[in-house]
Amino acid sequence: MSKTYDSTWRKLRRIQLRKDPLCAFCKKMGKITEATVADHITPISDDPKARLDPNNLQSLCKECHDTIKQRMESESYNQVGLNGMPMSKDHPWNKE
């Protein structure tokens, strides 16, 4: 088993999903969806030290994690503002 998914991570994941049981992206879109993924806001590839930082986690449903979040990371849209919305003016959520 990789270090990324060790027992410390699994415990932190459970805590995150109990703390925020709904998908953060769906909530922003006015939907209520159960979260099943504890997602690193800043990818651990960008900041390995943030892997176990609870402030670097958000709860997402699998669909949002596997679509919106993956697209954000692949298109360098992973920076979000204090309101939780993408900061890039080129991000689709910020276009009219």
Is residue 77 pLDDT above 70, yes or no? no
The pLDDT of 54-78, averaged and rounded, is 86
Show the tokens assigned to 20: 């925020």
Residues pairing with 80 in the sheet: 86
Is residue 84 pLDDT above 90, yes or no? no
Decide which of 58 and 82 is more confident: 58
What predicted TM-score, i.e. pTM, was given to this entire model? 0.74
8 Å CB contact between 64 and 23: yes
pLDDT for residue 43: 85
8 Å CB contact between 44 and 19: no
Residues pairing with 37 in the sheet: 60
pLDDT digits (tens, 9 = 90+) for 7-37: 999 999 999 999 999 999 999 999 999 999 9
